[in-house]
Structures are given as structure tokens and as C-alpha cells.
A and B are shown apart, each in its own frame.
Chain A
């Protein structure tokens, strides 16, 4: 860790005095949403006047031009059928040295059997190489980067995507680029963030070994293309879709670039690629569909669709029609279960995220739920909901992990579901029933949002330790001095707050806690099947927000010509087609940029799944790169920072996690939780690390791409560590 910088420490004390001055300065344009609001367009205003905003748009609306960035022709119409029979994929039985899938294996355990790096020697890790992906904002481009990438390693290749979807194969020993496929994704196609969590390794069943495209790399792209390239050469696989690409905008109806996009690796289950996509939050009720689709991994042909509001129709929409709009989307990495023929879809919310008054009963059933889809038909086999009528953006961002739950009568095929709430649900994969008790507890229903009653109860996974802290109270407010602390106490008292499920409020700000970046967000968890220990890093970051009457604010959705790029999905939202708009921001002191609640904001926990007891738990991340007015303090104090990105656990007994806003890669002793080692990355480590062995040497890799929302430095560096060379 960095040594204490005495000058910086003194400066902090000085800041205490300065804060008083800052507190006296009248509100000025520091806040992210203080920019001049764009004007309400005439069309939008008249729509409101006539009350048409509440009706679904015509399903015959044409698809706007320009949304299919690569101009790929639509594939042939869907023909009923099953996927080309698949051979077993490498992800279900990974080689000892490999990390062949985003979550290491199809179970998404993030557990590696490698043992070379141990708690004894991890302190000697040094950089083996750095690979620069070349993807970062060009001069003049607003930073929307958050690569979030976890490379995969199969045999002699380290495969990864860049934040803008170029696919590369690297030499696992040197980091030299073996080949690169340029994707040609345009800046306009970046949705909330330029992210590519990973690529998928696929071994074809119809192309013999030794031929082009026997082994393939599959990727879902920001501009809604599905692409397969040969793993050895990087050349497009001609037999897949249209010369290697499939246009996922087919049947989506009207959209604009960046409104819908893929950032998570699509799993291949029994020969079917299951595709989900994110839909930009908070834009309009009749946003493009959140449809989940299956495609043949071999040919790219459409297999089925699961369209929430057309539950009995699994085909593609007829010419000129489209999938039902505004339905819940899924943006998390999904988990495939070849044995049961299911894919577990972590669902988000129906558009829009903060108002549920216009959602259909079908949408209400599956929002913020895990839906197990049959990969042959696209029909749900079971649904388990983690939040009822979610208006808190508690969509599921993490990949569920498949484990053999140590039950009384032997192992049970289980699914561990992390959530933003910090509630971890453990379900039976066969029927979706909770293995550990889930209680429906009363939730506040008082709201001044008309026509949008709240659910009287919400589910709590009482059999698992809560990855969270008690509800906020006034004395939890924080700052550097009594003055800025008082400012936060006042904000707290001005707001409506009745615990985790505080209902939205139109006339008063309300506090959401643990927040839309809370719990595991998208980081997911790691599980060591040998010891039965589950590792989770998590967040508690309050959000301050208010529903507003949209007309007064002039907020515009992304597909409106007068839309101005702003704070992305987290922040202000037009919630077009509804009577409201949303203003949301982290619950912070807008002058000092310190969060209003006291630390910690991020923690890491180890849970023994045999007993469901916490083995160890402590704050994660130091104060070194954070401070008031975004000035780094260089203090090596563990404060517990917000974190994005998951953990990795190895048979050697080491836990690796980046994620924190101190830009460190951390290594912990899996047994005791003691921090053994860390290293300063060239950018924010908001990605899940991975580990692999090559030519007898174990490596640890992390994409230090930074994250625009976490305000960590952007970089294009993949940093790879190893023990000093064996001589």
C-alpha cells in the first residue's frame, strides 16, 4: 500500500476548515444534473395534452433506419425447430489450467483449481505483462467507458473483447496479440457504458477439428450484432448468420443507437445461444422490447423468443410488427444449465424503472425475478421474484451461480442468486423453490404516486446472512466537519425514508438504500465447491431521488431528437409516456462530493454454505484515491469503498478482487480474510479478475478499464501478474 503522505494528511485537516467556506457558497452548477434542462419538444407536449402518452404505440410502427449499425440483412424467417445438436462444451469440464467462460465454468463459480499462488507467496506477485486494448475515449468524446471485461483462457489463447467489441487473441505468456477482429462499433452505439463483459468459447458440432471455425469465439455487441469468429484466426465464421453476423435488431421495432445493446456474454445451452440485451433505463414506457431469444450456435438461425407480453407466441414478429415494447429486459450475464436444459435469466424491470403503474400483470410477474427458460422452446419453467413491483431499480445485475447445495439428504442442485438488495436467494434449480427460507415481510405502502400501489410485502432470504447494514438513521450522516455533516442530516430529515422499500414520492425527495449500486450489483459471487465457501463483495450506497412531474422538468428520452446526453441511465430520466420524470443522484453532499452516509460503502464477506455462517467480513477498499472534492487523500486507511466487479477464489486459498474505487487489485487469504497483497492499477479495476496457468506458471489478469459512473480513471490496460520466473 502507498505510504502515508504527511503533506496529504495535513491537507485533509486544512480541508476541514475549507469545508466551512464551501458550505457557505451558494448552490452552483456542481451537481451532475444542474445543466440547463432541454426544452420539451412540441410533439411530446401535444402527446401529453391529448393523453395519448398512456397508450401502447402501434405495433406496426416502422423500424427507424440506422439502428442496425452494420447493415446486416435480416436472416431468413424463423422455422420451427431445435438447435443443431451440440457437442459438449469446454466450459462444463474446464481443463485444469483454463478459464474458459466468463464465470470460469458453466456453473459460474469463479473458482480456479490452481494452487501455485498461495497466501504464503502472493506477496511476491509482479506484473508479467500489460496489454493495451486501444479502446478508450478519443479526444472530445465524453467518457462513457466501463470495460468490465473478464478475459477467457483456453489452451494457448487468452481471448477477450475490448470495451468497443473488438475481439483479440493474446499469447497467455507474453500478452502479444495473435489476431484482432475489428468490430467497427460506433460511438453512438454506446448505451449507458461502453462495456463488454466477455466473449464465449464454442466448439462446433458440424465443423470437423482442424477446419476453420471448428472452435469459435462468440460475442454479443453494443450495436446488437451477434458475431462468431474462428478461434485460431479471428476470421468471421461464414456459416453463422450472414457471413458470421446476426442482426439482433430484427423484430425490435423503432429504436435509436444505444437504446438497446448487449454487454454480457450470451451462454450457449445445448446448442442454443441465449441472447439478452439491456434497454436504457428510465427513457420511456414504450421502450424497445426486453425479449429474450434463442439462436442456433452453429448457424445463427433464430430458434425461439420469450416475449413477456406475447407468452404463447415464441416465433418472430410478422413483417412490420415487433416484439412487445417496454417489457422487462435482462442485462446480466445469464447462467446455462445443460443438464436441466434451462437458462437462468436474471431479469430487470419493465420500462420505466421508477414507475410501475402501467406494467401488465405478466410484466409484474417477472420483473426483478429469476426466470428459468426451457432452451428448446423459450417457455418459462419457473419464476422466482426477488422484488415485487420493483420501483427501486433493484434489477438483477449479477450472474447466478450453480452449486451443489449441501443438503441434509445429499447435494441439491441449487442456484445462488445475488441481488442489489444484498439478499442472497438459494433456489432449487429444478423447480425454483427456495431451499433456504424466504419470508414475505410487510413493506411500506404509503405513496403519493397516483395509480401505482406498492406491494404490501417483499421477500427476504432469512436463511442467508444479509449482505447489508441496518437501515439509515440521522446519526449515520457523515462529512468532514459538523457543518457538512449537518448539511447531510438536514437532507436526510427532509427526505422520506421508511427503510429499504420506501415508496417513491412526488412531493418530497426519498432515499433508496442500499441503492441501485447496492449489494452485488453486477459483480456476482465466487464459490469454492471443495470448501463450500461463498465469497461476495457488496455495496451500501444510498440514493437520493424524487419523482417529478415531467412537464416542469423538460426531460427527454434518448430517442427524442432534442435529447441531450447527460448522466446516463443513473440520474435524470424522462420516464416518457408516463406522468412523471425522475431525478436521482447518489445521496451525497453536492459541494464536497462525499457520500452522506458514513463509511463503509463496500464490504467483502465469506459465508460457509454448510452452516450459512459468516466466516469473515470486513470493509473493502482504501481511502487512497478518494476524498472530498474528488481529491485523493493517499490515506492507506481501509474505509470500504463502493465496488463494481466480482471476486475470484482459488484452490491455493487466495481471493482476488479489484472492484474498489481505490484502483487496487486486492488479494485476501480465503481462510482468514486477511489482506495479503495489493497493487495499484493504471485505471479503475471495475471488472472481475481471472486466473489461468500456462507453461507451468499461474497468472492473474484484471482489466483495469475504469468506470465512468464509479469515477475511476479510464485506461485500456489489461494487467497480468505472476510470481517471479522459476529459475
Chain B
């Protein structure tokens, strides 16, 4: 895998920002989620946090797989949330609202990441 890509255009800078956001948001989930798991609590947070941080790192490296990893975690969050609290709107709010807003941002990065990957492949071919 290639190293970190160097953002040039605004859309690439924005993608980079989304990736950093994922890492920043994912780390507290991993840290606190680890303690929660050790105390016998829900395993969701450590798993989701790990996926989100990994997704962010992959995105920083210009990989579309990072975005897809986040979206997978987000998709799996829905059945988990409904399993845990049912259709209680107030209880679903913290579980789904924020992750869904971020999912929209992450989806927007996919074309940018695809473009970056193409360039990377092309550069490899030239080399």
C-alpha cells in the first residue's frame, strides 16, 4: 500500500479532513469502549471505534476501502441500534444521528478517493 497521499485540490483536502475526523471521533470510542468492554458492558463501541479509526487511516492513504469500511460499520450500526432500543426515537438519536451525518460526508469522499486510486495505479504503471 502506498503512503499518505498529498492533497492538492480542495476536494482532496476535504477528503483528508473527513479522514482525520474519523480518527478523532473513533479514538475515544476505542479508548472508552475498551474500558466498557472490560467492565462487562457493550462490545459495540470498541468494534465500531476500531472500524472507524481503521477507515480513517485507510482514507488518509487514499484508499476507497477506508470509506467503505466506515460505511459498513455505519450500516451494521442500524440493526444493532434497533436490537438494543427498538423504535424509541430519543434512544436512537445518539446511536444513529451523528454516524449518519458522517456517513453522508464519507459517501461524498468516494469519487475523490476513486480518482486518487486511479492516479496511483497510473503512476505505478508508468513506473
The interface stretch among A226-234, A487-495, A568-576, A714-722 is A487-495
Q: Which residues of B contact A20 (CB under 8 A)?
A: 24-25, 28, 98
With A16-B101, A482-B48, A483-B29: A490-B39 Cβ-Cβ less than 8 Å: yes
- What's the interface size class on A, roughly? 20 to 34
A484 to B45, CA, bound (A): 12
Asked if A406 is at the interface of the complex by the 8 Å CB criterion, the answer is no
Shortest distance from the beta carbon of B17 to any chain A beta carbon, whole Å? 12
Q: Which residues of A contact B21 (CB under 8 A)?
A: 17
Q: Is the CB of A485 within 8 A of B101?
A: no
Shortest distance from the beta carbon of B38 to any chain A beta carbon, whole Å? 9
Q: Is the CB of A489 within 8 A of B94?
A: no
Asked if B33 is at the interface of the complex by the 8 Å CB criterion, the answer is yes
Asked if A515 is at the interface of the complex by the 8 Å CB criterion, the answer is no
A493 to B38, CA, bound (A): 10
What 1/0 mask marks residues of chain A from 578 to 622 whose CB sits below 8 Å from any chain B CB? 000000000000000000001110000000000000000000000
Q: Which residues of B contact A476 (CB under 8 A)?
A: 91
Asked if A11 is at the interface of the complex by the 8 Å CB criterion, the answer is no
Q: Is the CB of B41 within 8 A of A598?
A: no
Asked if B115 is at the interface of the complex by the 8 Å CB criterion, the answer is no
The interface stretch among B4-12, B53-61, B82-90, B117-125 is B82-90
A226 to B32, CA, bound (A): 56
With A490-B32, A598-B88, A598-B90: A482-B39 Cβ-Cβ less than 8 Å: no
Shortest distance from the beta carbon of B101 to any chain A beta carbon, whole Å? 6
A13 to B101, CA, bound (A): 8
Q: Is the CB of B90 within 8 A of A16?
A: no
Q: Is the CB of A481 within 8 A of B90?
A: no
B93 (CB) vs chain A CBs: closest residue: A480
Q: Is the CB of B41 within 8 A of A490?
A: yes
| Complex partner residue of B94 from A17, A24, A480, A490, CB under 8 angstroms | A480
A141 to B36, CA, bound (A): 43
Q: Is the CB of B32 within 8 A of A486?
A: yes
Shortest distance from the beta carbon of B41 to any chain A beta carbon, whole Å? 5
Q: Is the CB of B42 within 8 A of A598?
A: no
Q: Is the CB of A489 within 8 A of B36?
A: yes
| Complex partner residue of A475 from B29, B35, B84, CB under 8 angstroms | B84
Q: Is the CB of B90 within 8 A of A478?
A: yes
Q: Which residues of A contact B91 (CB under 8 A)?
A: 475-476, 478, 598
Asked if A639 is at the interface of the complex by the 8 Å CB criterion, the answer is yes
A477 (CB) vs chain B CBs: closest residue: B94
Q: Which residues of A contact B36 (CB under 8 A)?
A: 486, 489-490, 493
With A482-B48, A493-B41: A639-B28 Cβ-Cβ less than 8 Å: no
A474 to B98, CA, bound (A): 20
Asked if B40 is at the interface of the complex by the 8 Å CB criterion, the answer is yes
Q: Is the CB of B95 within 8 A of A486?
A: no
What 1/0 mask marks residues of chain A from 466 to 480 whose CB sits below 8 Å from any chain B CB? 000000001110111
Tell me which residues from 632 to 658 in chain A have a Cβ below 8 Å from any Cβ of chain B. Answer: 639
Q: Which residues of B contact A494 (CB under 8 A)?
A: 39
Q: Is the CB of B42 within 8 A of A482?
A: no
Q: Is the CB of B98 within 8 A of A482?
A: yes
Tell me which residues from 19 to 77 in chain B have a Cβ below 8 Å from any Cβ of chain A. Answer: 21, 24-25, 28-29, 32-33, 35-36, 39-42, 45, 48
A493 to B41, CA, bound (A): 7
With A16-B101, A24-B24: A487-B94 Cβ-Cβ less than 8 Å: no
A307 to B9, CA, bound (A): 81
Q: Is the CB of A16 within 8 A of B97?
A: yes
A13 (CB) vs chain B CBs: closest residue: B101
Shortest distance from the beta carbon of B95 to any chain A beta carbon, whole Å? 6
Asked if A23 is at the interface of the complex by the 8 Å CB criterion, the answer is yes
A492 to B29, CA, bound (A): 16
Q: Is the CB of A486 within 8 A of B45?
A: yes
A490 to B85, CA, bound (A): 18
B89 (CB) vs chain A CBs: closest residue: A637
With A480-B93, A482-B94, A482-B98: A475-B42 Cβ-Cβ less than 8 Å: yes
A23 (CB) vs chain B CBs: closest residue: B28
A485 to B93, CA, bound (A): 10
Shortest distance from the beta carbon of B86 to any chain A beta carbon, whole Å? 10
Q: Is the CB of B39 within 8 A of A480?
A: no
Q: Which residues of A contact B88 (CB under 8 A)?
A: 598
Q: Is the CB of B41 within 8 A of A489?
A: yes
Q: Is the CB of A480 within 8 A of B98?
A: yes
Q: Which residues of A contact B98 (CB under 8 A)?
A: 16-17, 19-20, 480-482
Q: Is the CB of B95 within 8 A of A639?
A: no
| Complex partner residue of B33 from A478, A486, A492, A599, CB under 8 angstroms | A486
| Complex partner residue of B29 from A478, A486, A493, CB under 8 angstroms | A486
Q: Is the CB of B90 within 8 A of A475?
A: no
A572 to B91, CA, bound (A): 31
Q: Which residues of B contact A21 (CB under 8 A)?
A: 24
Q: Is the CB of B94 within 8 A of A493?
A: no
A484 to B85, CA, bound (A): 17
A484 to B98, CA, bound (A): 11
Shortest distance from the beta carbon of A17 to any chain B beta carbon, whole Å? 7
Shortest distance from the beta carbon of A540 to any chain B beta carbon, whole Å? 13
Q: Which residues of A contact B101 (CB under 8 A)?
A: 13, 16-17
Q: Is the CB of B90 within 8 A of A482?
A: no
A372 to B127, CA, bound (A): 95
Q: Is the CB of B97 within 8 A of A475?
A: no
Q: Is the CB of B35 within 8 A of A481?
A: no
Q: Is the CB of A639 within 8 A of B90?
A: yes
A475 to B84, CA, bound (A): 7
Q: Which residues of A contact B84 (CB under 8 A)?
A: 475
A485 to B39, CA, bound (A): 16
Tell me which residues from 16 to 71 in chain A have a Cβ below 8 Å from any Cβ of chain B. Answer: 16-17, 19-21, 23-24
B88 (CB) vs chain A CBs: closest residue: A598
Q: Which residues of B contact A479 (CB under 8 A)?
A: 94
A639 to B91, CA, bound (A): 11
B45 (CB) vs chain A CBs: closest residue: A486
What 1/0 mask marks residues of chain B from 90 to 113 whose CB sits below 8 Å from any chain A CB? 110111011101000000000000
Q: Which residues of B contact A493 (CB under 8 A)?
A: 36, 39-41
Q: Which residues of A contact B95 (CB under 8 A)?
A: 482, 485
Tell me which residues from 440 to 481 in chain A have a Cβ below 8 Å from any Cβ of chain B. Answer: 474-476, 478-481
Q: Is the CB of A474 within 8 A of B45?
A: no
A24 (CB) vs chain B CBs: closest residue: B28
Q: Which residues of A contact B29 (CB under 8 A)?
A: 482-483, 486
A32 to B39, CA, bound (A): 27
Q: Which residues of A pack against B, CB within 8 Å?
A: 13, 16-17, 19-21, 23-24, 474-476, 478-487, 489-490, 492-494, 598-600, 639
23 A-B pairs (CB sep. < 8 Å): A13-B101, A17-B101, A20-B24, A24-B24, A474-B41, A475-B84, A475-B91, A480-B94, A482-B29, A482-B95, A483-B29, A485-B95, A486-B45, A487-B32, A489-B42, A489-B45, A490-B35, A490-B36, A493-B40, A598-B88, A598-B90, A599-B90, A600-B90
Counting from the closest, the 4 A-B pairs by CB-CB distance are A481-B98, A493-B39, A485-B94, A16-B98
**Contacts A23-B28, A486-B29, A486-B32 known; 10 new A-B pairs at CB < 8 A:** A16-B98, A24-B28, A476-B91, A478-B91, A478-B94, A482-B29, A482-B95, A482-B99, A486-B45, A598-B90
Q: Which residues of B pack against A, CB within 8 Å?
A: 21, 24-25, 28-29, 32-33, 35-36, 39-42, 45, 48, 84-85, 88, 90-91, 93-95, 97-99, 101
